[in-house]
Structures are given as C-alpha cells and as structure tokens.
Chains A and B, each alone.
Chain A
Amino acid sequence: EDKVVQSPLSLVVHEGDTVTLNCSYEVTNFRSLLWYKQEKKAPTFLFMLTSSGIEKKSGRLSSILDKKELFSILNITATQTGDSAIYLCAVTETSGSRLTFGEGTQLTVNP
C-alpha cells in the first residue's frame, strides 16, 4: 500500500522566516508527487514533480524531488501570515490518477 509521511506535523514561525516542509513516500510504481495548500477546506494545487533534481518555483515557494531517496521538500521563503495553512503532499502511481495523501503539515505564521 502506498504511504506518504510528512514532517513536521505542525510548525509555528514568525513572518519573514523561511520554512522547509518534508515529504517522504513509498509507492510501488511512482509517477508524480504533488503539493497542495489547504486553507479552510478546499486544497489548491501548488506543484507537481515527476523528475528528480528539478526545482519548481512559484514566487516565494519552491519544491524539489529526490526519486532516489524518495522524498520531496517544499520551501517557503519570507513567510507571510497568508501562508498559514495545511500543506499536503500526495503521490500518484503509473496505474491510475488516485492521489495518496500524507497527513499534512499545519503551518502557522505569526505577525
């Protein structure tokens, strides 16, 4: 069974700090790893990674995948209070489009 483990489970920082969120996974036939941001209820898509070593960036957020070591990190620089959310990591297999999610990291950014 596919498994996704995120750490830390919760994190409290001050505005302007840089944070690194971790995601490790076990999946039989890996296809992709995705990061979602969940504020209130609806997760919204951040990144999709399929290849090792290639960094995806969007503003202050960036992510990279290591397929050899089976993990990914999500970095957020110069955090803002609006970054407060649950960050979810998920993986897909080659056999289908089902997303298997981790438990998420609850990030709180204080002013």
Chain B
Amino acid sequence: EAGVAQSPRYKIIEKRQSVAFWCNPISGHATLYWYQQILGQGPKLLIQFQNNGVVDDSQLPKDRFSAERLKGVDSTLKIQPAKLEDSAVYLCASSLVRGQGLGKLFFGSGTQLSVL
C-alpha cells in the first residue's frame, strides 16, 4: 500500500515570498490533515479536511496560510507571504474515516521549509 506522498522534500525561500506544498493521501482515506512542526516542538494541526470540506481550521493563520482539497483527494497548502517564524516541517497525514481509529493517522515524510 502506497503511503502519504508529499512534495517538495525541502524548500528554501526568502521572507515575503510565497510557497506551496502538495500532498497525496493514502487511497481511500477521506480525512486529510496538515500539521506544522517547529524544531523542538510537537506537530500542531493547521487544518483538517473531510473529503473536500474543511472540518477544523481554527489554528490556521488565515491571513497568510490557505489550503484546499479539490475533488477530495490531493491537497495543497500555501503560505503567502512567508515569515521567518514559518520555518518548520509541514506534515501531511490521512486517516480512513473521520473519527475512525481514534486518531490513528498515517503521516507523510514532510516538507522542510526554511525562510531566510
């Protein structure tokens, strides 16, 4: 079974530039999550999709971050404009059904973003 695919693996940009990350979840997984993990911290949820609808975006900085999941499969997370404090690993995860498995998520390898 293919895992969660993310790209790019690494990205270096200057502050005020824009950047986009892509995620392809495990086939058949209805729920998709984007997490931000700053060095030395645990992952923090940015946004959760159920199919192509947003379930939870309460911790997404909406003035600069946006995400979409067209057709309920792939997802894109965008930052515009980037700030220094956005330097982090951005993890995408998916799960089979919302609430099913009580939190058993499958994570991708992440995108490491450095903002200079």
Seen from chain A, the residues whose Cβ lies within 8 Å of a Cβ on chain B are 4, 31-32, 34, 40-45, 48, 50, 88, 90, 92, 96-104
Contact = CB atoms under 8 A, between A and B. Distances in A.
Contact of A97 (B31, B40, B41, B44): B31
B112 A97 contact: no
Interface string B18-38: 000000000000010000000
Contacts of A90: 42, 103
Interface of B: 31, 40-45, 48, 55-56, 89, 91, 95, 98-110, 112
A88 B93 CA distance: 15
B40 A103 contact: yes
Contacts of A102: 42
Contact of B103 (A41, A42, A97): A97
B42 A103 contact: yes
